[in-house]
Structure 1
Amino acid sequence: MTRIFHVSDVHFGTEDRAALDWFAETVRAEQPDLVLLTGDLTAAARRSEFAAASAWLDTLGVPIRIEPGNHDLPVYSPFMRLFDPYARMRRMYARFHKPLDLPGVTLVSLKTTARVQLRRNWSLGRVGRDALARTLRALRGHDPDTLAIVACHHPLVEAGTRTRGGTHGGVGAIAALAQAGAHAVCTGHAHDPFDRLWTDGKYSVRMIGAGTLSERVRDTPPSFNELRIVDRQLTVTVRTAG
């Protein structure tokens, strides 16, 4: 059995310290095979927020995989946003986004963030052609005896949560991922957990969203998802604080 603790939207800068402590204690006690953090490590991509996130991740003591969220691109530095928006995330990647060997699981990334968009709300997701092509190449080369999980920040299609989706290119992306053999897409952004099946009648893929460990809760208390994979079968349990 492989266990993954899927967490998202910790938002250092507006973090819930009690929720973070609860999660860290649970990780140290139960020792999952991986902590998967699907974006929004920070509130505004400040250096101090990334430093706090890094220090907290260091305390967990298990393998960690991170993905970028829209809040991890500079909010208050337009020059950096335009010319090097992932500079601070790259430093985090060097420590917390390394190749993994998880028994029975293939984990691949899909970038859904963008430095600029031709719409007013830049917090929404966007799947670019090159980003999708990289993910599809990784999926098509995965071991067919493993469960293929795609990790990204934004839900690719609407998931019925209070926070709406609106990911540009999301419908085409999820269809392509399903056709390429993805079993599940793990995301954040909504701040509420969900587990839904997307299908076009021929192909299907599970959409799994994690809640938040920040003060910015929606309809669910601070929470994370526990994923268990046994013989390519995936079960998901939402675990809430308190």
Structure 2
Amino acid sequence: MTRLFHVSDLHFGAEDRAALDWFAGLVAAEAPDAIVVTGDLTLRARAREFAAAAAWLQGLGRPVTVEAGNHDLPWFNPWARLVAPYRRYRALEAAIERPLGIAGVSVVPLKTTARAQWRLDWSKGHVSGDALRRTLALVAATPAGGLRFVACHHPLVEPGTRMSSRTRGGGRALAALAAAGVDAVLTGHVHDPFDHVHRAGGRAVRMIGAGTLSERIRAQPPGFNEIRIAGREFETVARTMA
């Protein structure tokens, strides 16, 4: 059985140290095959927050892929946000938007953040045509017969949680991904776990969201998803800190 730990919204700068230690202890004890981080490593995209996130992730000692979240773009430096929004990610360069292929499952990135949008709330999701085309090309290059997961920060359609994503282009992207053979889309952003089956592109695709390991909890305590894969079957277990 292949096991993925899907974690999101670490928010270094407002991290829950007890939750991070709990998660790291489980990684050390259970040795998942890989860790998928679906964005918001930081609270304010400060260099010290990225450094702390990088040190923590590297200390886990497992294969990791990381997506960017809206909190990972500079807030207080408009020039940096528009010109070099991901410069502070350099400490994690090898893990950023890194496709993973592990024992029958491929994990492919999809960018849902935007430097600027034609609306007041830039924290919400946006899937550009270019981002979708890049992801579809990566999906097409994955091995036939295996599971295909896409990792991104924002839920592509509303999951019914307390917090919303309002992802522009999300419905179109979900339909295209489903038609391309994607089995599940792993996301974060809303800080509460969910696992829904959605019909799109003539197929059923799972929408799976992870909670948070930060102090910024919503309806559920700090937690993450364990995804257990056996052949073409998989289940999600939402694990929360007692």
SS at match of 1:36: strand
Deviation of 1:189 after TM superposition, in Å, equals 0.1
| Runs of 4+ residues deviating >6 angstroms | none
- What letter corresponds to residue 17 of structure 1 in structure 2? R
Matched residue, 1:206:
206
Matched residue, 1:137:
137
Matched residue, 2:230:
230
SS at match of 1:4: strand
1:140-155 superposed matches below 5 A = 140-155=140-155
| Cα separation, partners in 2 of 1:200 and 1:58, compared to 1, 3 Å | closer
- What letter corresponds to residue 23 of structure 1 in structure 2? F
Q: d(CA) in 2 for partners of 1:87 and 1:203?
A: 38
Q: d(CA) in 2 for partners of 1:134 and 1:3?
A: 26
| Cα separation, partners in 2 of 1:90 and 1:223, compared to 1, 3 Å | same
Q: Deviations over 1:97-148 (max 9, x none)?
A: 5453300001100000000000000000000000000111111222221100
- What letter corresponds to residue 22 of structure 1 in structure 2? W
Over the residues paired in the alignment, what is the CA RMSD in angstroms?
Answer: 1.2
- What letter corresponds to residue 2 of structure 1 in structure 2? T
| Cα separation, partners in 2 of 1:179 and 1:98, compared to 1, 3 Å | closer
Q: d(CA) in 1 for partners of 2:98 and 2:155?
A: 23
Q: d(CA) in 2 for partners of 1:225 and 1:7?
A: 6
1:9-28 superposed matches below 5 A = 9-28=9-28
**Contact persistence 1:5–1:36 (CA under 8 A):** yes
| Cα separation, partners in 2 of 1:17 and 1:180, compared to 1, 3 Å | same
Unaligned runs of at least 5 residues, structure 2: none
Q: d(CA) in 1 for partners of 2:20 and 2:75?
A: 23
Identity %: 57
Q: d(CA) in 1 for partners of 2:98 and 2:118?
A: 32
User: After the TM superposition, which of the residue ranges 173-182 and 193-202 deviates more from structure 2?
Assistant: 193-202
- What letter corresponds to residue 125 of structure 1 in structure 2? G
Q: d(CA) in 1 for partners of 2:2 and 2:64?
A: 14
SS at match of 2:101: coil
**Contact persistence 2:8–2:189 (CA under 8 A):** yes
**Contact persistence 1:64–1:97 (CA under 8 A):** no
SS at match of 1:137: helix
SS at match of 1:59: helix
Q: Deviations over 1:180-224 (max 9, x none)?
A: 000000000010000001104822210000000000000000000
Q: d(CA) in 1 for partners of 2:51 and 2:91?
A: 10
**Contact persistence 1:151–1:187 (CA under 8 A):** yes
Matched residue, 1:107:
107
User: After the TM superposition, which of the residue ranges 147-156 and 83-92 deviates more from structure 2?
Assistant: 83-92
Matched residue, 1:89:
89
Matched residue, 1:172:
172
TM-score, scaled to structure 1? 0.97
TM-score, scaled to structure 2? 0.97
Q: d(CA) in 2 for partners of 1:197 and 1:227?
A: 15
1:21-60 superposed matches below 5 A = 21-60=21-60
**Contact persistence 1:12–1:43 (CA under 8 A):** yes
- What letter corresponds to residue 33 of structure 1 in structure 2? D
